[in-house]
Amino acid sequence: MYSFKKTGFHPLDGAYYIRSCGYERLASLAAYHFEAGIEAQLLGHKQELDTFPRECSLLADALDYCDCTTGPTGASVSWEERMREIRNRYSEADVAVQMLSEAEPYLTQVVVRVQQALSEH
């Protein structure tokens, strides 16, 4: 039986599991979703994360967009609501809030890019 929890860092644990199923590209997308590289650095998992190549594509943006616009219950929310929810759920000292503070400009650009791509189709 596969143990899902290897590091306690869900992007990396999920990526390891997906890789074990033979889906390298999907594993890489999962590893880096929602700017996980920032949180990996803060938690000391950067070297492990670096074993997965980071993909920069509309697909990677779409995955981030889904995370940026989905709340913890699965309901659709705005990016602003999602940021507020994360900051309310965790303390200022929590790694999730520290990561969000650093990732916010990039993730805001992702939301704009995906919304533009959706409006073109």
Confidence of residue 4 (pLDDT cuts 50, 70, 90): confident
In a domain, 99, yes or no: yes
In a domain, 113, yes or no: yes
Confidence of residue 1 (pLDDT cuts 50, 70, 90): low
Domain count, the chain: 1
- pLDDT, average across residues 6-28: 96
In a domain, 51, yes or no: yes
Q: Could you report the per-residue pLDDT of 79-105, keeping only the tens digit for each?
A: 999 999 999 999 999 999 999 999 999
Burial class from Cβ neighbours inside 10 Å (0-12, 13-18, 19+) for residue 62 reads: middle
pTM for the full predicted model: 0.91
Structural domain containing residue 33: 10-119
Distance CA(117)–CA(99), nearest Å, equals 26
